[in-house]
DNA sequence: CTGTTAGCGCATTCAT
DNA sequence: ATGAATGCGCTAACAG
């Protein structure tokens, strides 16, 4: 049916080996025959079968990514980076969406057994030792993004340090009544970043002998709307905070919204600092702790691909830098 | 290296054909030998090579999806549906992200040439006749979601009718000063839904002899923040609208935000109706025109897979139903 | 029911 | 530099 490498070879009066060589840009082909083969390929409109290539090379040329996708802008941004990197290397990116812990485990297992991907990226989810063992046996390299495991390479940021810098920034501006809005401690997938960021902030407070009362610590489901509600609680306090650190920019948006609803001016009446630096943050002038989301995805692909080449290069641990993005949502308190 | 079907056959003392049969659940295998083969598979921890299976079957068992992903919650929701459907059929979902019109065209072309997917889903992007022709020649079935082409099957909703019903709803409540907040007419990818929804609303207005002045028609970049700004303009008018129809829920959130900032009560002082029914809308009590986003993705996969089986079943055109989700953001004007 | 065999379309030796 | 031969691991058709 479809034109194969044999058709091309016959037509160009060469062996299939030669056609294969020009296809893969091998140097040891004379310019003359290369031209001839290329011409035939063109005239026959020949396209190599991806299926056959992959089978012969014993590579799927695909990378899988496992994540609770469709929840947070930060995840989407990481995915963008992965897609871009994969496309640049001509790899396919296969997405596995995790909705529940049970599905997560099923996917962890399936990716080790099915041999459908050459490598794997896992975002924010922490695999168990048994999963790691299974992947190792299957020979599937895995790189963790925004999470860690002692036996696996990973790409992370220092959330504690990020929280520390957020706190530091507010303290330096002169704030002493600093509140925190973040995720609940126990979520279905036990994400830890919110908690870590809080720890960092608290550390900064402690170093400056600033108290952090329980009333300033608010947690709720991740999202703009819950954060908005929590902020209303904060601002209804007898001694409302003069500054709020939100565990993510999404939540910072909720804080901002609540402040606006109360007619507060930002930053005069309330300083707000977020975390992540998602796309809209710059637009809104939100001060935030920037982490390289797109890059985390892009380099994640890099890492898996590197593992594919040199099997030995295990456990490369990469920490991406954080950066304080100073904008107009923070200022000294009045 | 890895254990193959031959190893299993030898160990179980049967032919590879038989092993293949039990692997693929063929009925004509005696229970006894089936058990024996299964036991050997288990003991050898054999996993069939996905690569070899696909090559032999001449199927990639993958579906590609082309979209401007990472922009709108509605797209993400469709993707969720696709991932779920693909996973249910044991197909891989490969994502191709479009950032620019140039990249869109490149991906359209590549998916036809590279033979890496069995079928294709395209979200909200409209291919040209040449693209369609190329896919046809390549034998790649394509299903359009939220967009159309005369020669391709598609899954859509009636945006005009949806806009009409939104307008109708507001009119029935007694509103006569009805504004619209939507996307600009000319965007990079010429999405038409916002425009169509406006048309529908206008039609409802006309039928009821209600004027629609230019000042009530506001467009800006898609997003919550631009919508918020546009709404402030609307509400600063001498005769501000008593109701706003937003072309999407994302934009309705911006409208809601602006109203709250001005201390307006919803729905007493301002009625708001959106479109899509994204996850947060129910939470916020936003009245909206619901379209089945997840389902559009899920059935999109269904359709491509169907095309794969019966080549003849071309051009199935599916229109999903819209539904008015009545909640608490709309009420009669005062 | 089951064993045998012939591809699937390419990459990659090994000679030449 | 290049042609011929071999193998990748499985499915499916064909005998028996």
Domains and CATH numbers, chain A: 5-56 (1.10.260.40), 62-157+293-321 (3.40.50.2300), 159-290 (3.40.50.2300)
Pair A230, A257: CB distance under 8 Å: no
Within 10 A of B32 (CB to CB), how many other CB atoms are there? Answer: 8
pLDDT band, residue B2 (cuts 50/70/90):
confident
Q: Is the pLDDT of residue B209 over 80?
A: yes
What's the rounded Cα separation, in Å, for the pair A215 and A237?
8
Predicted TM-score of the model (pTM): 0.94
Pair B97, B69: CB distance under 8 Å: yes
Q: Quick one: pLDDT at residue A184?
A: 94
What percentage of chain B carries pLDDT values higher than 70? 99
DSSP category for residue B223: S
**Nearest-Cα residue of chain A relative to residue B257:** A257
Phi/psi at A95 (nearest 5 deg)?
Answer: -100, 135
Q: Is the pLDDT of residue A314 over 70?
A: no
Pair A174, A332: CB distance under 8 Å: yes
Q: Which of A66-80, A171-185, A268-282, B171-185 has the lowest mean pLDDT?
A: A66-80
What's the rounded Cα separation, in Å, for the pair B179 and B330?
14
Distance from CA of B279 to the nearest CA of A (A): 10
Name the nucleotide with the smallest C1'–CA separation from A30: D1
pLDDT band, residue A70 (cuts 50/70/90):
confident
| Chain-chain contact of B51 with A69 (C-beta, under 8 angstroms) | no
Which residues get their CB within 7 angstroms of nucleic chain C?
A 1-2, 4-6, 16-17, 20-21, 23-24, 47-49, 51-53, 55-57; B 13-18, 21, 28-30, 32-34, 55-56, 58
Distances in whole angstroms, Cα of residue B308 to Cα of each of A235, B63, B113, B142, B311: 58, 11, 18, 10, 6
pLDDT, mean over chain B: 95
Q: Is the pLDDT of residue B314 over 60?
A: no
Residues B253-293: tens digit of each pLDDT: 999 999 999 999 999 999 999 999 998 999 899 999 999 99
Give the mean model confidence (pLDDT) for residues A227-251.
Answer: 97
Residues B321-332: tens digit of each pLDDT: 999 999 999 999
C11 C1' – B123 CA distance, angstroms? 37
Residues A124-161: tens digit of each pLDDT: 999 999 999 999 999 999 999 999 999 999 999 999 99
C3 C1' – B20 CA distance, angstroms? 12
pLDDT, mean over chain A: 95
Within 10 A of B115 (CB to CB), how many other CB atoms are there? Answer: 20
Give the mean model confidence (pLDDT) for residues A180-195.
Answer: 92
What percentage of chain A carries pLDDT values higher than 90? 91
Q: Is the pLDDT of residue B250 over 70?
A: yes
With CA atoms as reference, report the closest residue to A324 among A262, A277, A268: A277
Q: Is the pLDDT of residue B50 over 90?
A: yes
Q: Quick one: pLDDT at residue A60?
A: 97
C7 C1' – B233 CA distance, angstroms? 70
pLDDT band, residue A312 (cuts 50/70/90):
low
Give the mean model confidence (pLDDT) for residues B203-229.
Answer: 96
**Nearest-Cα residue of chain A relative to residue B3:** A138
Q: Is the pLDDT of residue B146 over 80?
A: yes
| Chain-chain contact of A84 with B97 (C-beta, under 8 angstroms) | yes
pLDDT band, residue A305 (cuts 50/70/90):
very high
Does the CB of B280 have a partner CB in chain A at under 8 Å?
A: yes
């Amino acid at each position: 049916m479809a034109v194969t490498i044999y058709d091309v070879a016959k037509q160009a009066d060469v062996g299939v080996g030669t056609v294969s060589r020009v296809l893969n840009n091998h140097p040891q082909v004379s310019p003359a025959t290369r031209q001839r083969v290329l011409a035939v390929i063109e005239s026959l409109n020949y396209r190599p079968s991806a299926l056959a290539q992959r089978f012969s090379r014993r590579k799927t040329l695909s990378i899988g990514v496992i994540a609770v996708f469709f929840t947070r802008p930060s995840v989407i941004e990481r995915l963008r980076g992965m897609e871009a990197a994969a496309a640049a290397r001509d790899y396919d990116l296969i997405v596995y969406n995790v909705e529940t812990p049970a599905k997560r485990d099923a996917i962890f297992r399936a990716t080790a057994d099915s041999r459908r991907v050459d490598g794997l990226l896992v975002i924010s989810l922490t695999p168990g030792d048994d999963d790691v063992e299974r992947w190792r046996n299957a020979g599937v390299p895995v790189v963790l993004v925004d999470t860690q495991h002692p036996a696996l390479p990973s790409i992370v940021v220092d959330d504690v340090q990020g929280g520390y810098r957020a706190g530091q920034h507010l303290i330096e501006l002169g704030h002493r009544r600093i509140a925190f809005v973040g995720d609940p401690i126990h979520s279905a997938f036990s994400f830890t970043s919110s908690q870590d960021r809080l720890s960092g902030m608290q550390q900064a407070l402690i170093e400056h002998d600033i108290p952090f009362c329980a009333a300033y610590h608010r947690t709720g489901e991740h999202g703009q709307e819950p954060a908005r509600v929590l902020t209303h609680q904060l601002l209804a306090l007898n001694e409302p905070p003069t500054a709020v650190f939100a565990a993510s920019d999404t939540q910072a948006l909720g804080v901002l919204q609540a402040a606006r609803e109360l007619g507060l001016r930002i930053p005069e009446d309330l300083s707000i600092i977020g975390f992540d630096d998602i796309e809209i943050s710059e637009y809104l002038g939100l001060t935030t702790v920037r982490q390289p989301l797109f890059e985390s995805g892009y380099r994640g692909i890099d890492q898996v691909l590197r593992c594919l080449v040199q099997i030995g290069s295990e456990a490369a641990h990469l920490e991406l830098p954080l950066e304080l993005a100073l904008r107009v949502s923070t200022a000294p308190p009045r």
